Chains A and B, each alone.
Chain A
């Protein structure tokens, strides 16, 4: 392998110095202004006091932090985590067998299946949530079905419940679970599974002992892709929750656009960010361990 070349002369050195600046400069500048500054601003807002109509008064203090420890807000956090986790779990339970099934289809059909999985995802997100408003409505189709079959005479209120919110979240992000799972399952070498069976392990043991660990990175990726948008979501709880199921996303939205308490909203938002950063660190750790283990 050749050593790194010195192309002689100050002119060349300068060129070498300019090139990374030209490549990295514009993008980083753009980021600095439109991503770094906003994030820093929000971090600063955490310590400020609300302006009457939005914006902040720069009277610094820790009031917002003490307010967030109020049981009401912690309860909202807890509920949001719970709903996001539930949605992720359901997506996993539905997604894994589906991805597995797709991986076992003949190649031509696999593409078709993947296309079919992706199409709903490329339909406008709001419309997909709206579809569930129509379906779950007490005057809607699902209730018609239930009454028609004779399961019940009364019309259930399926809509405007936490359950409806979970369904909406799963529906919105299921394709994001299926795709990484499919990619991970597809990579698993059949020989390994055969070997496990040859050694006497039953189907379940093979699955738990060989397949699942090998596809774990896919599971983790898919879970994150569902969990993150679910946690910060406000559209689904608003439209399907009827204003009764408040998730942390709704709180943040309300602080910024209704109650005009930007500092408090900033604290809430930052708590979500911190939570997610911890999650990513956890994911990196898991991935490293699995890949280390597989190689070992």
Chain B
């Protein structure tokens, strides 16, 4: 009696398991090949029928951009947020690009995505405002001769600190890596691999894009030694920590530091003497997008002189848009030195690029091991 009853359940389960496994293995095998050709765009496409999903950092673009784009072009824009570049990459690759059309990201990550064939090479003829951009920036957006993203902001990384809480203004990366007794436990560094390695690499005099294993090992040792001095690894809340006084010095991007300066005049930014990077953030279109015309329209709207000027005025980051720069009011560039008199500092930085698949894995491993130490 019981054997008769047990069998149906068991056989059913086994059959299903087998089918499912076969399905899964079949799915594993497939791999998309991607071409480097830009998709042919339809200049007369009716954008009111198109809608795109854009992923960006929070508070990193005009609040009303969706409405502005809708008004100007008719396309619908839905916005979603990511907290770090790795989040963005995970989102893009996790579903093969499904569900997203446009992403904002930092150069090394966009480069890697482009090389992996996930990004659409941009047909710059389609972007009326492309000419507004400085060539120094657009040059960094090229992979194998094609532009894969529109530069959005750029800047440098340095030490953002509370001038009133430190005895001496920091001048070197070592002030962060080996803080004085008064600052022990009150400094933060970034945890995103490329910027996490930056202070150590620059302090040791190495390139921020190095793939040399010995150099990386040295940097790793320096970071392991620095860890006990830290308050925390922080990619997103460091200026709040400065404002509250929890931290006295933080590794920060220049634009982020401006937020702090806006709240508390004692918060200042310095590029350490060993030098730093020149990073760029850009807007890219995913190859998998089915509304590419709308995506282009979105990018074009942002590159418009007025919109892009708004970005610098309100988000306090440097923009690589010559036409827009003329529209930025003097009060802003006077109040925030990194946008005004000290703009040249960032251009002296070493451009942070992708380091390639294998080296990126090593960077990752180092960070994992440093934070676990």
Contacts and interface: CB of A to CB of B under 8 A. Distances in A.
Direct contact of A and B (CB under 8 A): yes
Interface of A: 4, 13, 16-21, 23-25, 28-29, 32-33, 36-37, 40-41, 50, 52-56, 58, 72-73, 75-76, 137-139, 157, 160, 242-244, 246, 251, 254, 257-261
Main SS of chain B's interface residues?
helix
Contacts of B112: 52-53
24 contacts: A13-B4, A16-B4, A17-B5, A20-B5, A20-B6, A24-B9, A28-B9, A28-B12, A33-B16, A53-B92, A53-B112, A53-B116, A56-B28, A72-B369, A139-B244, A242-B231, A243-B233, A244-B227, A244-B232, A257-B87, A258-B86, A260-B93, A261-B361, A261-B364
A18 B13 contact: no
B357 A52 contact: yes
B371 interface: yes
B246 interface: yes
A246 B371 CA distance: 7
Contact of A58 (B28, B94, B227): B28
Contacts of A23: 9
Residue among B93, B118, B227, B371 with most chain A CB within 10 A: B371
A24 B372 contact: no
Contacts of A257: 86-87, 90
Contacts of B373: 72, 75
Nearest to B232: A242
A23 B8 CA distance: 10
Given A17-B5, A72-B372, A251-B368, A260 B90 contact: yes
A40 B16 CA distance: 14
Nearest to A53: B93
A258 B90 CA distance: 7
Given A29-B16, A243-B371, A258-B364, A160 B93 contact: no
Contacts of B4: 13, 16-17
Nearest to B1: A4
B206 to A, nearest CB: 22
B87 to A, nearest CB: 7
Contacts of A56: 28
B224 to A, nearest CB: 10
Given A33-B20, A139-B244, A73 B372 contact: yes
A160 B372 contact: no
B93 A242 contact: no
Interface string B145-181: 0000000000000000000000000000000000000
A58 B28 CA distance: 9
A75 to B, nearest CB: 7
Interface in B1-38: 1, 4-9, 12-13, 16-17, 20-21, 24, 28
Contact of B245 (A53, A54, A139): A139
A18 B86 CA distance: 50
B216 to A, nearest CB: 15
B300 interface: no
Nearest to A257: B90
Given A32-B17, A242-B232, A21 B8 contact: yes
A37 B19 CA distance: 10
B319 interface: no
